[in-house]
Amino acid sequence: MLNLGEIDLFLQDGKTQMMVKGSASDTLNLDSTHIDNVANGEWSRPVESQVDGVMYRVSEHSATRAELIVRGVQLIVH
What pTM does this model have?
0.82
Q: What is the extent of the structural domain holding 8?
A: 2-76
* Cα distances (Å, whole numbers) of residue 74 to 34, 36, 38: 19, 24, 25
pLDDT in tens, 46-64: 999 999 999 999 999 888 8
Phi first, then psi, for residue 3 (nearest 5°) are -70, -15
Number of domains comprising the chain = 1
pLDDT band at 4 (very low <50, low <70, confident <90, very high): confident
**Contact between residue 46 and residue 78 where contact means Cβ atoms under 8 Å apart:** no
> How far from chain centre, in Å, is Cα 62?
11
Across the strands, what pairs with 7? Answer: 16
